[in-house]
A and B are shown apart, each in its own frame.
Chain A
Amino acid sequence: MIHSLFLINCSGDIFLEKHWKSVVSQSVCDYFFEAQEKAADVENVPPVISTPHHYLISIYRDKLFFVSVIQTEVPPLFVIEFLHRVADTFQVCSSNVGDTLPTGQLSNIPWRRAGVKYTNNEAYFDVVEEIDAIIDKSGSTVFAEIQGVIDACIKLSGMPDLSLSFMNPRLLDDVSFHPCIRFKRWESERVLSFIPPDGNFRLISYRVSSQNLVAIPVYVKHSISFKENSSCGRFDITIGPKQNMGKTIEGITVTVHMPKVVLNMNLTTTQGSYTFDPVTKVLTWDVGKITPQKLPSLKGLVNLQSGAPKPEENPSLNIQFKIQQLAISGLKVNRLDMYGEKYKPFKGVKYVTKAGKFQVRT
């Protein structure tokens, strides 16, 4: 399957290699560098590259390339999935540097080690929902859906057997599970029943997609215009809360990729602060909380390269926000029960709604 693995940093140095079969020379990566040059942007390096003797399958995560060398037919997603797991492991390892490597253990439950002990037994669940949306020029929703995950942090001794039930499980349109979940219980009773892995893990991810049910919590008023034959343009955006169900919307940031001809921006804001990077042409406006009494706005002039034709398209606005203690789909955890152990665990559920890929076309 996977022959070798190379880790390459963004300046093109191979700083780690691992060979599972015979050793493959580092020079195989030259094909990768070639493709990288051609792609110009790291995002556009094709994940699968065919070379005369090998195939290279790579992923890009956190400024590192994980390049694997393949010799024979193998499902590409198999390799990509594996590389991402490797990257995940790196993330964990580099955050808590220890001398001892995790020891491989044999357990009847492959995802849980035996003999776990805690003095405080706790089980926390974070219900995190993200709204993916495309809003068109006129403010109507082109596309919207809710993507949710339940992340768990379980610190329970022994072999607890948990079951988590929802008030309204039928909201969940499409669900994917951690392998620990008993699928049949879900199918028949809509209850998540599982022996959890120890520590942090993602229990389920789900999608809620009945479009008319997605409440978009913010609206944006915008007017961006570039004048023909003049080196300036006007930029004006205002953001406000729509249906926020009594919760405040916080952590709002607006990111705009301005066209290349923009040289600089002179803006004033009624709230928060903004930065414009003249190199990458990225405008970032950090708004913070919205209060409905006074809507935050950002307006001013855009300086364009003189002589260059005015940009054809207005840039789209990418919006981030966060609403605490609310799952926008209305999903609610009903109860959590534990079997198999005698102690009384401390349990908690937290809800957060965020903007996912939330884009406003202008």
Chain B
Amino acid sequence: MSAAPAYSEDKGGSAGPGEPEYGHDPASGGIFSSDYKRHDDLKEMLDTNKDSLKLEAMKRIVAMIARGKNASDLFPAVVKNVACKNIEVKKLVYVYLVRYAEEQQDLALLSISTFQRGLKDPNQLIRASALRVLSSIRVPIIVPIMMLAIKEAASDMSPYVRKTAAHAIPKLYSLDSDQKDQLIEVIEKLLADKTTLVAGSVVMAFEEVCPERIDLIHKNYRKLCNLLIDVEEWGQVVIISMLTRYARTQFLSPTQNESLLEENAEKAFYGSEEDEAKGAGSEETAAASLPARKPYIMDPDHRLLLRNTKPLLQSRSAAVVMAVAQLYFHLAPKAEVGVIAKALVRLLRSHSEVQYVVLQNVATMSIKRRGMFEPYLKSFYIRSTDPTQIKILKLEVLTNLANETNIPTVLREFQTYIRSMDKDFVAATIQAIGRCATNIGRVRDTCLNGLVQLLSNRDELVVAESVVVIKKLLQMQPAQHGEIIKHLAKLTDNIQVPMARASILWLIGEYCEHVPRIAPDVLRKMAKTFTAEEDIVKLQVINLAAKLYLTNSKQTKLLTQYVLSLAKYDQNYDIRDRARFTRQLIVPSEQGGALSRHAKKLFLAPKPAPVLESSFKDRDHFQLGSLSHLLNAKATGYQELPDWPEEAPDPSVRNVEVPEWTKCSNREKRKEKEKPFYSDSEGESGPTESADSDPESESESDSKSSSESGSGESSSESDNEDQDEDEEKGRGSESEQSEEDGKRKTKKKKVPEGKEASSSDEDSDSSSSTSESEMSSESEEEQLEPASWRRKTPPSSKRAPATKEISLLDLEDFTPPSVQPVSPPAIVSTSLAADLEGLTLTDSTLVPSLLSPVSCVGRQELLHRVAGEGLVVDYTFSRQPFSGDPHMVSVHIHFSNSSDTPIKGLHVGTPKLPAGIGIQEFPEIESLAPGESATAVMGINFCDSTQAANFQLCTQTRQFYVSIQPPVGELMAPVFMSENEFKKEQGKLMGMNEITEKLMLPDTCRSDHTVVQKVTATANLGRVPCGTSDEYRFAGRTLTSGSLVLLTLDARPAGAAQLTVNSEKMVIGTMLVKDVIQALTQ
């Protein structure tokens, strides 16, 4: 905002309000510097025939409006121009009308007919803007006209106009709420709209007009979930917030049964809980183990919502991230809420206003779900440059996160804060220490000592705050702290802050029996200065006097009477009242002895210690992320977040009537598909949720939504006649994407050679970034198919090998692959490896021996049948040393010819490899007859990196570009060592070279057998014998550099485990940790 200083200067010197001074308007950039006293010139300009003059005049007028100047007397002159042909002038006239029509209703009516004409204009932009202005003119007379216009626009061909209609609905509603019923009809109609453009706007209208009509959502629920990712950001926020409420009324609480079932701690239950966390498929297992109770099964629609909102955590918009976070907080099962923490922590790097709001919400969440943010504790550390309000919120979060284990670190942090120059912040820190001390008994004494030390601080505010906190802490265990009370008593001479003085006096009074000699002396001093004290201190002096009188009347009788007499004539009536009341109570008199007999009980009753708790406690009864939550008070229009229902309402209301051919992809089908999938996943090392399982189930819903929305989409598409045909390629909605990808693919097929451009060098101005791998466009084509095939096949091949595969391949032709030019990254392949690992295990009874790693990791696709024109190439990492060169990874390549002609002269073409990577080619295979297969061994030196090795596979006639990317675990070879050697080597690789992660081992993966199996499947490491039973050690060396890689898995009871990797190669170490954890936790 480079113009900012200019504004301030201009305005700094400008005259008072009311006086027009358009000439100084910085926004006008000097254009408006002509005569400004009268509006006559403007009127004149508006009356001319020249558009340029009109435009000029309108700009000046709009500038006046923007600056809050009154331009209403120009109304007649402006309104005449509403029919102006020039679109720029027209726009500005609209702006003017929207501002002043309410004030000049009669004149405004003159313009209505123009808008009505505009509503019929062939140009959708003009139709939309006419509707926008018409609905913005707040003139009650035209309500019927507006209603009509909205109804018409709601069935307009252009989605843009329909969106504008949705925007107009709340405007009309605020003008005349009697129209509600009619408007609801329009909303209902627009809710059924299938374009992403309309979805956000109509939900916004729904929220403003009829948020209670939750029944309108039923039929549109699934569609909204599926469209969500493609709706614009503002719409996403509104839709997510609405769906949160919807879900709370329609689904059962995912946590409701957890507490109920915990008593019933059968092993089977825990197994099934695992699955529930993943999905809704585990019906049978759960039912079998707990026949008596009805197990909780997440409604598939509930799951759909959670699944479709999750990617939005990665939105660039803080509002969207927050919306998803609150949705997960309110709707997700406990085990899944954790995913939002990372995203919320990311927002802490945003603008300070965003931080402020996010921290408020984190503060609330961290009370209920402390564990969620614990890993990010350090992200809440405070910098001296943070604004105070942010510091205090971070402090709140840190305090909430403090627990037995991390309290030393937290307290050390607090120690640095106490010395801050920002005194408000210091005071807040002292309170935070007090809260930690009350919550965590172990550190209470430490904290108390620290606070006592602060009493000698030079800053009075610090001392005062400490006194107040100490008082609260002492109340918990007064007996042991006579010394501290004495110390505090001494402070009364110096400390001036009223609250602190009052606290000290209260403490002495309350625990006078611990300081029997000092207390009367303090009272004596206070009596002396009584008149000069603040009210709050005076009250405590009276209190102290009364308590001392009751316990030690011999010494203090006179003092007390003196104090009470002083108080009797005090200016403040509170103090006079208190004095009178106290006197009656403690001094026995003739009339009322009844009360004074109980005076001791009244004054010296044991008082419960105060509970120091967060001000954010229980704030979560407001929907998180809402204004009401932030203010901790109900804002106007706040929609209460309903409690979960006891019994789930009928889920069939969300079923949508669709034509027969799409019905198959509906609910039943989905269920049927999911069931085997999820129940399977408990037994084997399931595929990663993101990489493998989702595409399958999601393609399901995708195809559903695309077919569902198919007709609507195409009609809307054809509306945009005035637009470029080319634009159609655009990403309209998620569901469209597959179709659209298809288009792209066919297009590309038409121009296969023309794309050389894209294979141009990766050039750059920095030397370091030139890319080494190059592929021609042709080969990229080839790769398309395998990439997608690979993703789809593994899960299915597990279940029904032969028949299903065929159908999937057909499907694959129909579902076009995504454009994939580069080598598939390791994520896919590793999880796939894990998959296939499971497969080989179940097929062959391979007993894992202690020291030899699994001999072969599952096959991976190198060249697909379609791309290879009948040649199928797979590869496996054989894990045998490569005979030619010990630094090379040996890769078995399996060729099979599925075409009907022999393939001749199979060999590796000239590889173009990144620096360091080397290939030992396999001997040429002269001929491969149809139906025949062959295996060859080649060696690749990956140079200890997971970069892909790209090379050409040549036949006599063709060349195929292929690439092999190794999972990190294949870059090493096992070494044999003893336990002692292992420990010695490990000792050398500490510090930077050590990477440690904590993880939870799932039930399915707690036996020795499985753990060893999974680790060795992921990484080519050898097991090192180990004395203790729940520790596993593995060792290996990287192939190229021979650096040691040591892996230790320390499994503790109940599934917690710690994984440590020691290696000089830190990158390899980090990746290995990730891979192993992935393998183990699946």
Contact = CB atoms under 8 A, between A and B. Distances in A.
A236 to B, nearest CB: 20
A351 interface: yes
Given A191-B825, A339-B819, A47 B356 contact: yes
A136 B416 CA distance: 9
B754 interface: yes
B7 A9 contact: yes
Interface string A60-93: 1111100000111111111011101001001100
Interface stretch (B467-475, B857-865, B1066-1074): B1066-1074
Nearest to A333: B769
A178 B947 contact: no
B7 A15 contact: yes
Contacts of B378: 142-143
Contacts of B760: 344-345, 347
Contact of B3 (A47, A94, A349): A94
B155 interface: no
B820 A189 contact: yes
Among B171, B381, B771, which residue has the most Cβ atoms of chain A within 10 A?
B771
A309 B458 CA distance: 8
B244 to A, nearest CB: 11
A119 interface: no
Nearest to B726: A159
A59 B780 contact: no
A273 interface: no
Contact of B352 (A13, A43, A185): A43
A187 B311 contact: yes
Nearest to A58: B353
A294 interface: no
Nearest to B761: A347
A108 B716 CA distance: 11
A254 interface: no
A82 B99 CA distance: 22
Among B315, B384, B625, which residue has the most Cβ atoms of chain A within 10 A?
B384
Interface in A323-362: 325-326, 330, 332-351, 357, 359, 361
A90 B314 contact: no
Contact of A106 (B628, B720, B946): B720
B757 A50 contact: no
Given A90-B1, A312-B458, A334-B822, A77 B318 contact: yes
18 contacts: A15-B67, A47-B353, A48-B631, A63-B1, A73-B637, A75-B237, A75-B241, A75-B323, A77-B237, A82-B234, A104-B125, A109-B727, A142-B413, A185-B818, A193-B818, A315-B421, A325-B768, A339-B748
Given A80-B351, A350-B764, A108 B2 contact: no
Contact of A147 (B102, B349, B356, B421): B349
B766 interface: yes
Contacts of B994: 212
B317 interface: yes
Given A91-B1, A187-B694, 8 more contacts: A11-B8, A44-B387, A161-B729, A165-B825, A188-B690, A188-B828, A332-B768, A359-B383
Nearest to A167: B947
Contacts of B822: 163, 165, 191, 334-335, 337
Contact of B754 (A9, A78, A333, A342): A342
B626 A114 contact: no
Interface residues of B, number: 143
Interface string B225-244: 00001001110010001000
Contact of A97 (B29, B237, B758): B29
B138 A330 contact: no
A47 B768 CA distance: 44
Majority-rule SS of B interface residues: helix
Interface stretch (A21-29, A217-225, A285-293): A21-29
Interface string B313-324: 011111101110
A191 B821 CA distance: 10
A332 B385 contact: no
B627 A195 contact: no
B635 interface: yes
Contacts of A71: 636-637
A350 B315 contact: no
Given A188-B691, A191-B820, A191-B825, A108 B357 contact: no
Nearest to A115: B724
B383 A357 contact: yes
Contacts of B1071: 170
A18 interface: yes
B727 A107 contact: yes
Contacts of A87: 1
Contacts of B992: 212
A24 to B, nearest CB: 11
B68 A64 contact: no
B496 interface: no
Interface of A: 1, 9-11, 13-19, 21-23, 26, 41, 43-44, 46-48, 50, 55, 58-64, 70-78, 80-82, 84, 87, 90-91, 94-95, 97, 104, 106-110, 112, 114-115, 132, 134, 136, 142-143, 145, 147, 158-159, 161, 163, 165, 167-170, 173-179, 182-185, 187-191, 193, 195, 202, 205, 207, 210, 212-213, 257, 259-260, 309, 311-313, 315-316, 318, 325-326, 330, 332-351, 357, 359, 361
B343 interface: yes
Interface in B1-58: 1-5, 7-8, 10-12, 14, 26-27, 29
A145 B377 CA distance: 13
A335 B358 CA distance: 36
Given A108-B728, A143-B378, A163 B357 contact: no
Among A11, A90, A259, A361, which residue has the most Cβ atoms of chain B within 10 A?
A11
A173 to B, nearest CB: 8
B66 interface: yes
Contacts of A349: 762, 764, 766, 769
Contact of B160 (A17, A106, A173): A106
B1 A183 contact: no
Contacts of A75: 237, 241, 319, 322-323, 625-627
A33 B726 CA distance: 52
Interface in B740-754: 744, 747-748, 751, 754
Interface string B193-212: 00000000000100010000
Contact of B771 (A47, A195, A333): A333
B998 interface: no
B755 interface: yes
B252 interface: no
A48 B633 CA distance: 13
B346 A73 contact: no
A177 B7 contact: no
B824 interface: yes
B29 to A, nearest CB: 6
A97 to B, nearest CB: 6
A108 B763 contact: no
A10 B138 CA distance: 34
Nearest to A112: B730
Contacts of A19: 99
B691 A80 contact: no
Contacts of B763: 346-348
Contacts of A23: 99, 102
Interface in B319-360: 319, 321-323, 342-343, 345-346, 349, 351-354, 356-358
A161 B769 contact: no
A179 B625 CA distance: 22
Contacts of B459: 312
B639 interface: yes
A94 B727 contact: no
Interface string B397-427: 0000000000000000100100111000000
Nearest to A338: B758
Nearest to A22: B138
Given A90-B1, A108-B727, A348-B764, A332 B819 contact: no
